[in-house]
Amino acid sequence: MIGSSPRDPLAFLADDLAALREAGLYRPLRVMSSAQGPIVSIDRKRAISLASNDYLGLTHHPRVREAALAAVRDFGAGSGAVRTIAGTMTLHEDLESELAAFKGVEAVLTFQSGFSANTGLIPTITGEHDLIVSDALNHASIIDAMRLSKAPRKVYPHGDVNALRAILDEAAAKGRPNGGGAYRLILVVTDGVFSMDGDIAPLPGIVDAAEAAGAAVMVDDAHASGVLGRNGRGSVDHFGLHGRVAIQVGTLSKAVGVLGGYVAGSQDLRDLLTQRSRPFLFSTSHPPAVAAACSAAIKVMQDEPELIERLWANTRRFKAELARLGFDTGRSETPITPVMMGDARTAGRFSDRLLQLGVFAQPVVYPTVALDKARLRTIVTAAHTDELLDTCLAAFDSIGREMGLIGG
């Protein structure tokens, strides 16, 4: 064996990468050397960003920054442990009380991210005696959370309330298979705003169908927080469904501008999660700066309603202009505006050309969306000026013509 090198057990990784590149599905990470905002520095080049989820521009809001700095000064850089050991600080408890008041619920528990809120919630409150009923386009974190649960699940076609009703009525009437009796819990799970298409869940119909079958509803408002409802309270507030949606999940990483997720609902729900939820029990809590900055952001959302007004004015204008140019923006109803491109290579080329013209918008390709549904995902924020949007639209127009996608 002298001189012969051992076989590399990870050699398949290179093959997998080559296959991704061959299919046009490999996207290099773009490196941002500026703060997040409407204008960023990408790969050391100035660009107008249409790529962030920073809906209200709070990532760089002065009050949010100040709160983070003050927390570092007063409480240090890290929390030091998981919440159950020594990592629960007044900053965490205060943030949760503020969020509970904001959402109009009894209690809130925060998690390290929206992803961990879902994976910390769903497997904890569901088991083999329960049924989860999920929209086909729910977020990856919900899908992973369901995989971690022992509960069986059924998936209904995206937004199809009639199909949901049929599943729920059958589940309520027949109960568990093989004479196992009634389900302990039937949990209907939906995104509030769908993150790749920007459409809003038909929540009133979902709630009616759930109530008729004695099921509970959980809505993941990651992209509705800060966007829908009074001061950005989310989809439940938007539809006037307070008291009829048992669980709201939110993220602190998008419109709130910082990082984290939360579960909003009853005191019993919060108390049980503090005892059993694995990301809560086994992963360290937010650093003081994160909790303090989130609190400040929730206050800004209530004190400065002009931000959400500006977000929606920009959204309406950008969508209307893209449609006028001849682009297909799918079924979006919110600031998430997909610009449909079809195949992954076209989406990749369009994105690269945009960056050359100083506009940053990322392609979204398989497996995040179906193979033939590649798109550019754009989000305008409250921080974009009319002039910045003019520049973006001019770039879309010229590249669209150059690539023969519009103006034919």
319 is a catalytic site residue: no
Which residue type is seen at 46? R
In angstroms, rounded to a whole number, what is the distance separating the alpha carbons of residues 192 and 61? 26
Q: Which residue has tokens 């005696």?
A: 129
**Out of 79, 124, 190, 251, which residue is the one contacting ligand PMP (CB under 6 A)?**
251
Q: Considering beta carbons, is residue 36 or 346 the nearer one to ligand PMP?
A: 36
Of the candidate spans 27-35, 113-121, 177-185, 396-404, the one that interacts with ligand PMP by CB under 6 A turns out to be 113-121
223 is a catalytic site residue: yes
How big is the CA angle at 255 (ends 249 and 260), to the nearest 5 degrees?
50
For 160, the 3-state DSSP assignment is coil
In angstroms, rounded to a whole number, what is the distance separating the alpha carbons of residues 310 and 316? 10
**Out of 24, 57, 114, 198, which residue is the one contacting ligand PMP (CB under 6 A)?**
114
Of the candidate spans 109-117, 182-190, 210-218, 339-347, the one that interacts with ligand PMP by CB under 6 A turns out to be 109-117
Query: Pick the catalytic residue: 49, 134, 195, 253?
Result: 195
Q: What's phi and psi for 46, nearest 5 deg?
A: -70, 135
Q: Considering beta carbons, is residue 118 or 329 the nearer one to ligand PMP?
A: 118
**What is the total count of residues that contact ligand PMP (CB under 6 A)?**
14
Instruction: Examine residue 384 and tell whether it contacts ligand PMP (CB under 6 A).
Output: no
**Out of 58, 68, 99, 222, which residue is the one contacting ligand PMP (CB under 6 A)?**
222
195 is a catalytic site residue: yes
| Residue ranges in 117-176 that form contacts with ligand PMP under rule CB under 6 A | 118, 139, 141
Q: How many CB atoms lie within 10 A of CB 93?
A: 13
Which residue type is seen at 90? T
Q: Considering beta carbons, is residue 113 or 277 the nearer one to ligand PMP?
A: 113
Contact 221, 193 (CB under 8 A): yes
Instruction: Examine residue 197 and tell whether it contacts ligand PMP (CB under 6 A).
Output: no
CA end-to-end span of the chain = 65
Which residue type is seen at 160? D
- CA distance readout (Å), 93 to 183, 254, 282, 324: 34, 21, 18, 48
Structural tokens at position 261: 């997720």
Strand pairing class (374-379; 45-49): unpaired
In angstroms, rounded to a whole number, what is the distance separating the alpha carbons of residues 367 and 323? 26
Query: Which residue has its beta carbon closest to ligand PMP?
Result: 114
Site string for ligand PMP, 323-362 (x = CB under 6 A): ----------------------------------------
**Out of 36, 49, 248, 253, which residue is the one contacting ligand PMP (CB under 6 A)?**
253
Contact 135, 190 (CB under 8 A): yes
Instruction: Examine residue 261 and tell whether it contacts ligand PMP (CB under 6 A).
Output: yes
Which positions are annotated as active-site residues? Answer: 195, 223, 254
List contacts with ligand PMP (CB under 6 A): 113-115, 118, 139, 141, 191, 195, 220, 222-223, 251, 253, 261
